[in-house]
Amino acid sequence: MTFLSGFIGIIGPPNVGKSTLLNCILRTKLAIVSPKPQTTRNRILGIYHGEGFQLVFMDTPGIHNTRSALHESMVASARAACREVDMVLLMIEICHPNDPEIPSIVRNLKRMRKPCILVINKIDMMAKEHLLPVIDHYRQVYDFEDIIPVSAIKGDGLDRLLGRLKESLRPGPQFFPLDMKTDQSEVALVSEIIREKIYSPTSKALPYS
Ligand SMILES: Nc1nc2c(ncn2[C@@H]2O[C@H](COP(=O)(O)OP(=O)(O)OP(=O)(O)O)[C@@H](O)[C@H]2O)c(=O)[nH]1
Ligand SMILES: [Mg+2]
């Protein structure tokens, strides 16, 4: 049987749930999550091992218009990830379907002609009737391979998403060994978790930059 594999970039505006999706798919806490935007600072690999296939996910910092040096480098790393992958997951959230960052992200996708699945997250927060107009709108915006509503926090829609990603895979090597779930060192994982724990009680007191 031919082995199938591919790299998948998770991109989108800040705070839409990209890291929550990565953690839920891999059933492991690899990326920290917080209600504040711009939580993820580096791209984080998460490796999903299936029977005869491997999906390598790249969680990325939220893309937003910025002038600070730190945030510029975060956004640059998200855009670079987009260039390297075989498939992009553009995540938006149903409560802010017209985030001002989305048009520039889509322009970038068009330039790169990347196959992309639109993932509409947080469907647990809205009644179903809000979904159809958003799907109709996004059908006009880009030639998405598919549009998949999910709730990353509850795990809803993830089987469909994984099935769709598996269908898109091409023959390729097993990039990472079976016991490897991420490329982050234990030290990096621990320091990220400490950062996450500090975020919530300190709130605005934490000098963000
Ligand atoms: N209700 C609901 N909340 C969600 C869902 N997915 C994520 N969240 C919440 O949304 C917030 C942001 O989640 P993150 O996973 O940190 O979002 P992100 O896109 O990685 O954010 P950045 O790294 O800052 O770009 C957190 O408070 C999550 O708990 C979902 O499916 N439903
Ligand atoms: Mg994140």
In a domain, 182, yes or no: no
Model pLDDT for residues 103-122, shown as the tens digit of each residue: 999 999 999 989 999 999 99
Question: Closest-lying ligand to the alpha carbon of 17?
Answer: 1
pLDDT tens digit sequence for 82-99? 888 999 999 999 999 999
Query: Considering the domain boundaries, does residue 158 fall inside one?
Result: yes
CATH of the domain at 57: 3.40.50.300
Nearest of 169, 186, 192 to residue 49 by alpha carbon: 169
For residue 198, give Cα distances in angstroms to 17, 39, 44, 191, 201: 19, 12, 20, 11, 6
Check residue 94 and give its pLDDT: 97
39 in ligand 1 pocket by Cβ < 6 Å? yes
Judged by average pLDDT, the poorest of 25-29, 63-67, 196-200, 205-209 is 205-209
Give the per-residue pLDDT at 71.
79
Atom number, ligand 1, closest to the C-alpha of residue 62: 25
Residue 160 lies in a domain: yes
In a domain, 56, yes or no: yes
Identify whether 76 is part of a domain. Answer: yes
20 CB within 6 A, ligand 1: yes
Q: Are 153 and 20 in contact (CB under 8 A)?
A: yes
Range of the domain at 14: 4-173
**Which pair of structure tokens corresponds to residue 14?**
């800040």
How many domains does the chain contain in total? 1
Instruction: Name the pairing type of β-strands 53-59 and 116-121.
Output: unpaired
Specify the residue with its C-alpha closest to ligand 1, atom 2. 122
Report pTM. 0.95
**Which ligand does the CA of 36 lie closest to?**
1
Q: Per-residue pLDDT for 170 more than 90?
A: yes
CA distance 170 to 65: 34
178 within a domain of the structure (yes/no): no
